[in-house]
Amino acid sequence: MKTNLNGKAALVTGSTEGIGKAIALKLAENGADVAINGRNPERSREVYELISNFGRRCIFSRGDILIYEDIKRAVDDILVQWGKIDILVVSGSAGYPPPRLFHEISPELYLEYLRTRLISRLFPIRAVLNHMQERETGKIIIITTDAGRVPTPGESLIGAGAAGVVLVTKVLAQELSRWKIHINTICVTITVDTPGYEKALQSGMGKVFEKAAQRMPFWPLKPNDVAELALFLASEDSDRITGQIFSINGGLSFPG
């Protein structure tokens, strides 16, 4: 897909690798200035150079999406430098705790599953919300797991957090429409060339994920597959779409 994002400023969290990186590059390729985000500046260098090669502005804004004050400071820094954020893509920081059968999960980790899968999505949204409300415009795109829509062995608590993201998407779409803010969620499954994929294979559920991939008619899924949909949702072509949940799962399941 090709579209025109010239003049748009985007923030993509967790964009130094994997799906977030692919989305950041796709937005820049189509004309957006892109602020990349992560916890490790060293990992940002390749993405920074690639975006610069597209002739777009790029800044690295260090911040942890698991800490509200941290991501709020990152957002404020971008606003000082660029004056606006038109597009927010919330990705990354969901590799720990790993997939695990419920009876094997220590109760001490329950809140950590929800913190990494749900709260990590809410903090960046809240950090940009006042700005988007003041400007009465904005596109918010959340990346989460398809386990929030489809019962997935080993992902009871991961899926619970993602299901919370799904419901939040629908409620916020209603609440934020008065300010012309769009919000949609992309649910993904096993995606190669991502940190999450490698961690899943190394976890105790590795064989389960390998079998799931074998059942997937359109395997393998790659980060660029997700980036193409994110580009559409960031563009004017999706101006009549909000509160929707999209699954990219290679035909593994067909959630309603």
Which pLDDT score, from 0 to 100, does residue 93 have?
73
Which pLDDT score, from 0 to 100, does residue 183 have?
99
Q: Could you tell me the pTM of the whole model?
A: 0.95
SS3 string of 13-71? Answer: CCCCCHHHHHHHHHHHHCCCEEEEEECCHHHHHHHHHHHHHCCCCEEEEECCCCCHHHH
Structure tokens at 158: 């991961």
Residue 1 in domain: no
Residue 255 in domain: no
Structure tokens at 69: 């004050």
Per the listing, tokens 């597209």 go with: 54
Which pLDDT score, from 0 to 100, does residue 42 have?
86
Residue 119 in domain: yes
Q: Which residues of the chain have pLDDT under 70?
A: 94
Q: In the chain, how many domains are there? A: 1
Residue 221 in domain: yes
Residue 3 in domain: no
Q: Give the C-alpha separation, 158 to 147, whole Å.
A: 7
Residue 137 in domain: yes
Which pLDDT score, from 0 to 100, does residue 213 have?
86
Domain span at residue 213 reads 9-247
Q: Per-residue DSSP letters for 190-256?
A: -BSSSHHHHHHHHSTTHHHHHHHHHH-TTPPB-HHHHHHHHHHHHSGGGTT--S-EEEESTTS----
Which pLDDT score, from 0 to 100, does residue 94 have?
66
Structure tokens at 100: 């695990």
Q: Give the C-alpha separation, 234 to 237, whole Å.
A: 8
Residue 252 in domain: no
User: What CATH number did the domain enclosing 102 receive?
Assistant: 3.40.50.720
Residue 253 in domain: no
